[in-house]
Structure 1
Amino acid sequence: MTFQQIAAVVAAGIVAMVYLWPLLQKQDMRAVVKHGAAIGVVFRPAAAPTQLPPVAVAMRPASKSDREMVYQFYRALADVVERDDKYVTTVGKFRDIHSASLDLAFEKTDLKGKYVGLDVAINDTLVNAIGLENVALAPEKRSALVKALRGIADAAR
Structure 2
Amino acid sequence: MTTRTAAPVDAAALAEVDAAAFGTHAWSAAAVESELAAHGRIVLVADGTPLKGWASVAVSGDAADLTRLGVRPQARNAEVARSLLEDVAVRAREAGARRILLEVAEDNHPALRLYEDTGFVRIATRRRYYPGGVDALVMERAL
Do the two structures share a fold, i.e. TM-score over 0.5?
Answer: no
Q: Which has the higher contact order (CA 8 A, sep 6+)?
A: 1
Larger Rg: 1
Q: Given the two structures, how large is their TM-score scaled by the length of structure 1?
A: 0.24
Q: Given the two structures, how large is their TM-score scaled by the length of structure 2?
A: 0.26
The structure that is strand-richer by fraction is 2
The structure that is helix-richer by fraction is 1
